[in-house]
Structure formats: C-alpha cells, structure tokens
Amino acid sequence: MTSEQRITLENAAKEAFEGMRAYHRSEIDHKRDAIAILTTVLAGNGGLVAAGFGALSRASAIGWGPIAIIAITVFATTAILVQKIMSATQKKIEADGNRYKEFRAQS
C-alpha cells in the first residue's frame, strides 16, 4: 500500500467515524428532546391531578359522572399525545439512520 493510498484510507475512516459520531449525537439529542417534552406533559398532568383532588372534596355536589369523564378524557388525551411524541421521535431517529446509511454507502 502506498502512502497516498494509506492517507486516503485514513481520511475515509476519519470521515466515517465523524459521520457515525454525528448520527449518535443526533439520536441522543432527539431522545433528550422527547424526554423534555414528555416531562412537561406529565408535569401538566400533575397540575390537573392536583386540581382534581380539589374537585373530589366537592364530588357529592358535582357528581362522579363529570369527574370520571374529565379523568378519562385527560388519560386518553395524554396517551395519544405521548404516542405521537414517541412516534415522531422514532421517525426522526430513523430518518437520521437512513441518512447515515447513505453516507456510509458512499464512503
């Protein structure tokens, strides 16, 4: 192997390593962002639960029906929102993975 070939090979290896590192950094960033969003959603739900406890003291006046409907609505909305956040995060990670595969194929 000539020195020129070795330099070319070393440069290609460095470029591939940098691409791999960027891909992993991007994956970590996407997951961190999703965790931050989910934390915010769950904190908001904590506020709703606290408000719900206030309503429980007046449950006999309000009736259990409206309280149950609100609880089910909050649960369903949260479940759908969490699923959408997780799905969007996974799509971003997969898109980055596909770009990395293209980059790796070109190297």
- pLDDT per residue rounded down to tens, the chain (107 residues): 788 888 888 888 788 788 788 888 888 998 999 999 999 999 998 888 888 777 777 777 777 788 788 889 999 999 999 999 999 999 988 888 887 777 777 66
The per-residue pLDDT for 33 is 93
Q: Which residues of 68-106 are buried (b: 16+ CB within 10 A; e: fewer)?
A: eeeeeeeeeebeeeeeebeeebeebbeebeeebeebeee
The per-residue pLDDT for 107 is 61
Give this prediction's pTM. Answer: 0.68
The per-residue pLDDT for 78 is 93
